[in-house]
Structure 1
Amino acid sequence: QDHCFRSCSGHSYVRKNWLGSIVFPFSALLQQSEFSDQIDVLERAHIFAKNCKAVFPNRRITTTVFNHDGIQILVTRYIKALNPPQQLLDIFLRDSNATLDLIAHFVSLIPLMPDLDENDGFDIWMTSERCISLAIGNKEEHAILLCNFFLYFGKKALVLLGTSILEGRVAYVLTHETDEYLLWNPLTGQCHRQFDPFCPLQSVDCLFDDGNVWFNIQQNSTPMAVYFDYSKESFWKQLLPKNFQGTQVQSIQPEEIIYSDTNKSMVDDLKNRIERTLKCKIMEWRPKQPTRWNRQCTSILRHILPKLELGTERFVSSEEESEFERLLQFYWIAGFPIQMPYTNVQTVIDAMYQTGIHSSEYPQTEFALAVYIHPYPNNILSVWVYLASLTRRQ
Structure 2
Amino acid sequence: IWAKNSSDQVHLLNQFICKYDIINLKTIDEAIKFVSRIKINELSNPYEIDIINAIENGWANSNESAILLMSILTSISKQAFGFCGYSYGKPRIFVLLNENDCDCLIDPITGIKYNLKDPLTPFTKIGFVFDCDNIWFNLQKNDTPWQIDIDFLKENEWKSFKTNNSINVIKELKFVKDESYQIELSNEIKFKVVRLVEDFRKTTPTRWNRFLSQTLENIIAASNDSYSKFQVELKSDKVFSKVLESHTWIGFMKQFNFSNTDEIIEYISLLDIYDSFAKFDIHHDFIVSVFTFTYTQNISSIWIILGALKPNK
TM-score, structure 2 as length reference: 0.79
Cα deviation for residue 226 of structure 1 reads 4.2
* Matched residue, 2:241: 325
Cα displacement string for residues 65-119 of structure 1 (whole angstroms, at most 9, x for unaligned residues):
xxxxxxxxx53222333537757537xxxxx5xx22222222233332344446x
RMSD value, Cα: 3.6
Q: Give the paired residue count.
A: 304
Q: Give, in angstroms, the shift of residue 370 of structure 1.
A: 0.6
Is 1:391 matched up with 2:288?
Answer: no
Cα shift at 1:258? 6.2
- In structure 2, the residue matched to 1:337 is 253
- Is this contact kept in 2: 1:330–1:392, CA < 8 A? yes
Structure 1 residue 238 corresponds to structure 2 residue 193: no
Task: Name the counterpart of 2:95.
Answer: 173
Look up the SS of the partner of 1:212 in the other structure.
strand
Higher RCO (CA 8 Å, separation ≥ 6 residues): 2
1:143 paired with 2:59, answer: no
Q: Alpha-carbon deviation of 1:207?
A: 1.9
Match of 2:24 among 68, 89, 92: 89
> What amino acid sits opposite 2:59 in the alignment?
I
Q: 1:312 to 1:283 in 2, by over 3 A?
A: closer
Residues in 2 aligned to 1:371 and 1:75: alpha-carbon distance in whole angstroms? 37
TM-score (normalizing by structure 1): 0.64
* 2:134 is equivalent to residue 208 of structure 1: no
Quote the Cα distance in structure 2 between the aligned partners of 1:227 and 1:195: 10
* Conservation of the 8 A alpha-carbon contact between 2:39 and 2:59: yes
Asked if the contact 2:140/2:148 (under 8 Å) is kept, the reply is no
> What SS does the corresponding residue of 1:181 show, helix, strand or coil?
strand
Matches within 5 A, 1:207-286: 207-209=129-131, 210-215=133-138, 217-219=140-142, 221=144, 223-233=145-155, 236-238=157-159, 240=161, 247-252=162-167, 260-285=175-200
The residue number in structure 1 matching 2:49 is 125
Residues 63 and 213 in structure 1, CA contact (< 8 A), matched pair in contact too: no
Structure-2 residue corresponding to 1:106: 34
Amino acid at match of 1:75: S
Q: Is the 8 A contact 1:300 1:320 kept in 2?
A: no
- Measure the CA separation in 1 of the matches of 2:247 and 2:211: 12
Larger Rg: 1
Gap runs ≥5 in structure 1: 1-44, 46-61, 65-73, 91-95, 241-246
- In structure 2, the CA distance between the partners of 1:318 and 1:205, relative to structure 1 (3 Å rule), is closer
Is 1:189 matched up with 2:111?
A: yes
* 1:276 CA displacement: 1.0
Superposed, which structure 2 residues align to 1:48-59 within 5 Å? none
Rounded to whole Å, the distance in 2 between the matches of 1:253 and 1:392 is 64
Deviation at 1:193, TM superposition (A): 3.0
Residue 148 of structure 1: how far off its partner (Å): 1.2
Distance 2:195 2:234 in 1: 33
1:105-151 per-residue CA deviation (whole Å, 9 max, x = no partner) reads 22233332344446xxxx4321x444323333222221111111111
Provide the C-alpha distance between the structure 2 equivalents of 1:303 and 1:219, rounded to a whole number of angstroms.
52
Aligned partner of 2:290 among 354, 366, 371: 371
Q: Which amino acid aligns with 1:78?
A: Q
Give, in whole Å, the separation in 2 of the partners of 1:170 and 1:289: 50
